A and B are shown apart, each in its own frame.
Chain A
Amino acid sequence: DGGITQSPKYLFRKEGQNVTLSCEQNLNHDAMYWYRQDPGQGLRLIYYSQIVNDFQKGDIAEGYSVSREKKESFPLTVTSAQKNPTAFYLCASSLPGQGFQETQYFGPGTRLLVL
């Protein structure tokens, strides 16, 4: 079955530690996105990538980094510079061909907690 997988489901971070969240898709989508979800704040865009080896900052990129070396994969690193990382992180992907009305398909999410 085609879809988006995120791992791990839960992740614990210690002070000063970098952690990486995995996102993999087998939908053959070119575009991928990372969102952060906090209660009552909806989803906020961290980074997005339209094609391999290219990505752009979203609205809240500070303290995060990404890479896009393969079409299927878009890992997100939460660095020690992100002082409030506790949140639910969602990865999404979409086809490029439909232009601005692209539907984004979401993974199941990773919950990051600080020890």
Chain B
Amino acid sequence: AQSVTQLGSHVSVSEGALVLLRCNYSSSVPPYLFWYVQYPNQGLQLLLKYTSAATLVKGINGFEAEFKKSETSFHLTKPSAHMSDAAEYFCAVGGTSYGKLTFGQGTILTVHP
């Protein structure tokens, strides 16, 4: 079985500050890992994904994530937060069953002026 834990259901940062959203996973097989973003009352949009090609993955809107096997982590970062980054972020893991993903509970990011 696979599982995902997102540490912190709410994260608040100031505009221009570092964004760090934490994700730890559990998987019995080499995982494929994803970060999605959701704006209010909308669907999910893919930010980035890890598929074993490189441990540091760059995504859209200046976000990146680093796969650390020893720590079973895939934390999402952005050097400088923008007001438009305020949204809910989901980490997801796949790789054990054709096309299926297991999602974390989400982290709501608030950006203060």
Contact = CB atoms under 8 A, between A and B. Distances in A.
A90 B43 contact: yes
B106 A42 contact: yes
A101 B95 CA distance: 6
Contacts, number: 66
A53 interface: no
B41 A31 contact: no
B43 A108 contact: yes
Interface residues of A, number: 31
Contacts of A106: 36, 43-45
Interface in B76-112: 90, 94-101, 103-106
A43 interface: yes
Interface residues of B, number: 26
B103 A104 contact: no
Contact of A100 (B4, B32, B42, B103): B32
Given A42-B104, A43-B103, A101 B43 contact: no
26 contacts: A31-B99, A40-B105, A40-B106, A42-B4, A42-B90, A42-B104, A43-B90, A43-B103, A45-B100, A45-B101, A48-B99, A50-B98, A50-B99, A94-B99, A96-B98, A99-B98, A100-B94, A100-B99, A102-B99, A103-B34, A103-B46, A104-B99, A105-B46, A106-B44, A108-B42, A111-B41
Interface of B: 4, 9, 32, 34, 36, 41-46, 49, 51, 90, 94-101, 103-106
Question: What 9 A-B pairs have minimum CB-CB distances, sorted nearest first?
Answer: A106-B43, A101-B51, A101-B32, A42-B103, A106-B44, A43-B103, A42-B105, A100-B95, A108-B43
